[in-house]
Amino acid sequence: MSNFNYKDYIQDHLLNINGYKSLTYPKELSDFIKLDGNENPYGPSNKVTDALSNRNDYQLYPNSIDELKQTIADYLNVQPSNIVCGAGADAVINLIFSSLKNNYDDMQLATITPTFGMYKHDAMINNIDIDELEQEINYRPNGYYFDVDAEPQIALIFASPNNPTGQIMEKDSMLKLLDKGHMVIIDEAYIKFSQYQSYVELTKEYSNLIVIQTFSKWAGLAGLRIGYGIMNEELASTLNAIQQPYTITNYAMEAAIISLNDTEYLNDNVKKIIETRNNFINQLVDITNITPIPSEGNFVLCHLNKGANTDFHKFMYDKKILIRIYSDAILAKYARISIGTTDNMQKVLNAIEEWDKK
Ligand SMILES: Cc1ncc(COP(=O)(O)O)c(C=O)c1O
């Protein structure tokens, strides 16, 4: 027997990390209404599924990413050299974090809480200290505000719209941070569902701004894992140079390119989701025991005015409706419900009405 102890080899900060709790759902979903992952209920364009079913190149490594970058660049009116692609926005965020200095005297990272759990997770695995500024969970018409007086410069990451609160980040607040020279990363995973404009255009003016987007939500491609960041050319070049090769499959690349050439279909679905979301929020107004928070995303965070979130989750699960609840104290009285098809949201509402009267 050797005396091998893995702790002698693994970096200390990695030893006690509880992995990110990813979704676990029944393999056979046909009976279920899946509203726990902010996925797109309409799926991708039929042109995507047709094209992918005709591919037969499993044995090949993925082809160059240049065509995809050019297509995204044309779509967003930026240059391909401004783009870094990754296997989901998740991978782009982790790539950025992995490149940040992790000496606390040089660099700090900040965000708000509650927000997307991967920011904290990625900070931890990259040994970066992350400050989470608590935000009240309520609706603010101009979005949430963040200010900081820090020296030295820090990097900040915000989801706008934010998951799970559905709020955007106030533009003035972001401009202030940019003018102070901080590195600001805006995660626009849900921007298509928002009435507010993307900040991609601002990346031309601010070399310290990075905007992240994904095909997971509006294009219905969460399972194919494809996202990207838009940023100044030098930073993009550095990140592209340290990127693992071949993390984006030919399937994901083709699906993304076809999606950008079939935006009419996808935008119609986005419109349907927005309408369904707004109706759902209006219908919840009559429910005593649930208070919805107006949302700019394809989900609604609901305050539970009675019972434990686990009881509500179980009640909905027994009705074959999957929703998201959280173990964090700040979200103990909330549940997040993704927006499904109109028919399915009626079933959700019926279930909630029943729960309300229980
Ligand atoms: C704010 C936010 N950013 C990024 C992601 C992940 O996106 P992707 O599927 O492209 O990795 C999510 C997923 O839920 C999210 O909520």
Of residues 26 and 171, the one with the higher pLDDT is 171
Q: What does the pLDDT average to over 277-283? A: 97
Q: Determine the residue of 92, 121, 187 to mutate for testing ligand 1's pocket, defined as the one with the most ligand atoms within 8 A of the Cβ atom.
A: 187
Please determine whether the domains at 6-43+264-357 and 46-262 fall in the same fold group of CATH: no
Query: What pLDDT is attached to residue 106?
Result: 63
Q: How far is the CA of 89 from the centre of ligand 1 (A)?
A: 6
Q: Which two tokens stand for residue 31?
A: 């009976």
Question: 90: Cβ below 6 Å to ligand 1?
Answer: yes
Query: What pLDDT is attached to residue 18?
Result: 83
Q: What fold is seen in the domain 46-262?
A: Aspartate Aminotransferase; domain 2 (3.40.640)
348 pLDDT exceeds 90? yes
Query: How do residues 174-188 score in pLDDT, each as one tens digit?
Result: 999 999 999 999 999
Output the CA torsion 206→210→216→217 (10° steps): -50
As a whole-number percent, the residues of the chain with pLDDT over 70 amount to: 98
Cα separation of 32 and 216, whole Å?
20
Query: What pLDDT is attached to residue 93?
Result: 98
Compute the chain's Rg from CA coordinates.
21
Q: Where are the domains of the chain?
A: 6-43+264-357, 46-262
Do the Cβ atoms of 164 and 339 come closer than 8 Å?
no
Q: Which two tokens stand for residue 11?
A: 């970096």
Cα separation of 28 and 17, whole Å?
31
- Arithmetic mean of pLDDT over the chain: 94
Query: How do residues 234-271 score in pLDDT, each as one tens digit?
Result: 999 999 999 999 999 999 999 999 999 999 999 999 99
Query: What pLDDT is attached to residue 150?
Result: 66
CA-closest candidate to residue 228, choices 240, 220, 242, 238: 240
Do the Cβ atoms of 227 and 65 come closer than 8 Å?
no
Confidence grade of residue 226 (pLDDT, cut at 50, 70, 90): very high
Cα separation of 46 and 52, whole Å?
10
Q: In what order do the strands lie in the sheet with 334-338?
A: 290-293, 299-304, 334-338, 324-325
Query: What pLDDT is attached to residue 60?
Result: 97
> At a CB cut-off of 8 Å and minimum separation 6, what does 281 contact?
292, 294, 295, 300
Q: How far is the CA of 225 from the centre of ligand 1 (A)?
A: 10
Confidence grade of residue 26 (pLDDT, cut at 50, 70, 90): confident
Query: How do residues 125-141 score in pLDDT, each as one tens digit?
Result: 999 989 999 998 988 88
Residue 187 bridge partners (DSSP): 159, 212
Q: What does the pLDDT average to over 343-350? A: 97
Q: Are strands 155-159 and 109-113 parallel, antiparallel or unpaired?
A: parallel
Range with the poorest average pLDDT among 18-22, 53-57, 183-187 = 18-22
CA-closest candidate to residue 114, choices 334, 285, 338, 276: 334
Cα separation of 357 and 331, whole Å?
23
Q: What does the pLDDT average to over 9-30? A: 84
148 pLDDT exceeds 90? no
105 pLDDT exceeds 70? no
Q: Determine the residue of 144, 163, 165 to mutate for testing ligand 1's pocket, defined as the one with the most ligand atoms within 8 A of the Cβ atom.
A: 163
Q: How far is the CA of 116 from the centre of ligand 1 (A)?
A: 8
107 pLDDT exceeds 70? no
Q: Which CATH class is domain 6-43+264-357?
A: alpha beta
The number of residues in the chain equals 358
Range with the poorest average pLDDT among 12-16, 212-216, 219-223 = 12-16
Cα separation of 212 and 292, whole Å?
27
